[in-house]
Chain A
């Protein structure tokens, strides 16, 4: 962990994180979802930059795959890697959230199982950000260091178990299980459980900004910078206000 950077506004998270994903290789629409998901990481009381970096890195360096396949077997939907690589959470998060929204409309119990993904927390945050109408959603995965991690969403609260800074910033690729409207995926007894109201966190973020790890924030900015276009003499004359100085008026 490095020193905390100056707090970022939600608007800045939207701007920089969207384009960081684009800089890492995602299409713009997924970049926007990634930014929204990252805000929800903050609303869950966690560091969005620290969570973002492993996913950005995995996508950019090709360690994470973007091809995925959905299969349904009775009440379980499997989201599988299409090429054997671990799944990119930037790609898989919106697919999972979309599928849960469709299933939630039926009001029935449903389970999703994802192949190993590069940042499980982003899957949980993508689900949280989707505004799914369900009595209960439990997202869980297992970390060699932190044990079983569960993010449980119910009636406007989020209960987080087992998450610590290391599990966020340096996650081990893990399979993720999601339970919608059903039993299972309960939080294990743990002293590392806390309950959060994301709506309150959101108000707090708007009031005070979002604090994040300085080094992680710089890494996000590095990916963001990849989608900036180098300036040339020709491009300079095509910018807003090009060619005019104010001393002529």
Chain B
């Protein structure tokens, strides 16, 4: 995996949101609003329940009035428009009271293992107020403004896996509905999206009374939940190479299966062309301020135009999907190639979807102290030649260091030459550390064991483990020097977010991006009714269409 390609990733039908919605639909989960005690300004408490076949999960939501100056996407924020806990089961009154004391405090609160996720969100001030005003006056929000933002609220953190006393992943990992990666977190976000729609309708109704309108279903469906994501995601990908490998392996296996299909029937071809048409409209509606990303989107549009021209003749031959892939690989930008993979997988659920079950990871493998250093050296040569090629004494090759700030533990990136704290950097400098290990091993004999070596050089312990793990996970390593001056953390974020299933990447710097989650996903009554299986590449509903894109 190279950063440049990771930074061109798109969601696929294997993405974790897509898996969750398919499961809810397939298993007929019942989605229920249990409590909605909000005042006319939309402040109060709400509880939403997702009844899975064997268990119920409840979103407990608290909404707050905050000042504009307090509304920031950053980890260091202290107040939010809404705060949430995902409760394992149905909370009783005492649970809700306890959460009312803690959930609004977020990181400063304290939670129990009955809580699975902690999250918060802010309103999109650009859209929320306008939507309330419009609906209160009995009309739908302005098409352009709705499409420009795409969500009413934006989450700024979604914490799971034992954070702040919440339940460990281990508690729920064996449950079928939670076995996949991040399913509790993404269920939380889906329920938040529901609440955000209820919230805007409620406030509009309180203001407009009988003359007010509710968001039309196609308008509501087009609204997702925004998310602002920064550096915190990157260390996760470094820490869990086997897990990341399994994500990519599932995707690559799916792609190989599709490419191996010998032919495409007329219906299949027509279906793909319809999908491509929708995808082109979607890309046509994707607009960002960031000029580098805007240029990439323009090139992507051109790639998809070329694909549309290639398809009528290209798909008529043998192994049409393989031919299509090869055409993209030879002619498209990286974004064009990755988008093509997304398209190829999208139309082939029967050979793709079951691979979603393989995207989790078992307990991490342990260090193997009995390994001979000769073997360790061989593994370095076989799997990390790319890391050994760099000269890390060049200042620009090791300029950055990642760390936790004392300010609310916010992840930050510093300049090694000019800022303090490099001695406490996060262990993400894999390439440099492998290079150092390789040099240190020169002092040892091939017949010695890793145990011998680590007794004298314990600072290499996690690096030795990493090398030993490499043969188990060919897709587990980012094959780039992550601390070089010119690397973009954003590329790592996009890769992970694509596996989550987000859309509309909107970079705000090299360090963070805004995205949209669940845009186009079926609404709760639709998905619970078994409808809305396909929702990738959400385009503006007909009533909102404007002249844009192809």
Interface residues of A (CB under 8 A from B): 6-12, 19, 22, 26-30, 32-33, 66, 68, 70, 91, 94-95, 97-99, 101-102, 105, 130-131, 202, 205-209, 225, 227-232, 234-236, 238-249
Check A27/B459 contact, CB under 8 A, given A240-B411, A248-B126: yes
Q: Which residue of B75, B112, B367, B449 is within 8 Å of A239 (Cβ)?
A: B75
A241, B409: Cβ atoms under 8 Å? no
Distance to closest chain B CB from A90 (angstroms): 9
15 residue pairs bridging A and B, Cβ less than 8 Å apart: A9-B167, A11-B162, A28-B427, A29-B461, A29-B462, A30-B461, A32-B462, A95-B451, A98-B369, A99-B369, A207-B113, A208-B113, A240-B412, A240-B512, A242-B509
Distance to closest chain A CB from B53 (angstroms): 21
Interface segment, one of B133-141, B417-425, B539-547: B417-425
User: What's the tally of chain B residues with a CB closer than 8 Å to chain A?
Assistant: 74
B414-449 contacts to A, CB under 8 A, are: 414, 419-421, 424, 427, 449
B476-491 contacts to A, CB under 8 A, are: none
11 A-B pairs besides A228-B424, A249-B125 with CB distance below 8 A are A6-B165, A9-B167, A102-B451, A227-B404, A228-B403, A235-B405, A238-B413, A239-B230, A239-B407, A241-B508, A246-B123
Closest chain B residue to A244, Cβ basis: B508
Residues of A within 8 A of B169 (CB): 11
Interface flags, B149-183, vs A, CB<8A=1, else 0 = 10000101000011111111111000000000000
B161, A239: Cβ atoms under 8 Å? no
A27, B71: Cβ atoms under 8 Å? no
Distance to closest chain B CB from A35 (angstroms): 12
Distance to closest chain B CB from A158 (angstroms): 19
C-alpha spacing A7/B113, complex, angstroms: 9
Distance to closest chain B CB from A58 (angstroms): 16
B72, A249: Cβ atoms under 8 Å? no
Interface flags, B58-84, vs A, CB<8A=1, else 0 = 000000000011011111100000000
Distance to closest chain B CB from A196 (angstroms): 18
Closest chain B residue to A248, Cβ basis: B126
Q: List 9 A-B pairs, minimum CB-CB distance, nearest first.
A: A240-B230, A11-B162, A29-B461, A9-B162, A229-B421, A29-B462, A98-B369, A27-B459, A98-B451
Closest chain A residue to B400, Cβ basis: A238
B424, A229: Cβ atoms under 8 Å? yes
B168, A9: Cβ atoms under 8 Å? yes
A29, B71: Cβ atoms under 8 Å? no
Residues of B within 8 A of A131 (CB): 366
Q: Which residue of A101, A230, A243 is within 8 Å of B369 (Cβ)?
A: A101
Closest chain B residue to A33, Cβ basis: B461
Check A29/B414 contact, CB under 8 A, given A9-B166, A239-B231: no
Distance to closest chain A CB from B179 (angstroms): 15
Closest chain B residue to A12, Cβ basis: B162
Residues of B within 8 A of A98 (CB): 367, 369, 450-451, 454-455
B106 within 8 A of A: no
C-alpha spacing A229/B461, complex, angstroms: 23
C-alpha spacing A229/B122, complex, angstroms: 28
B229 within 8 A of A: yes
Distance to closest chain A CB from B447 (angstroms): 13
B23 within 8 A of A: no
Closest chain A residue to B77, Cβ basis: A241
Residues of A within 8 A of B414 (CB): 229, 235, 238
Residues of B within 8 A of A105 (CB): 370
B406 within 8 A of A: yes
Closest chain A residue to B404, Cβ basis: A228
Residues of A within 8 A of B411 (CB): 239-240
C-alpha spacing A137/B112, complex, angstroms: 35
A229, B403: Cβ atoms under 8 Å? yes
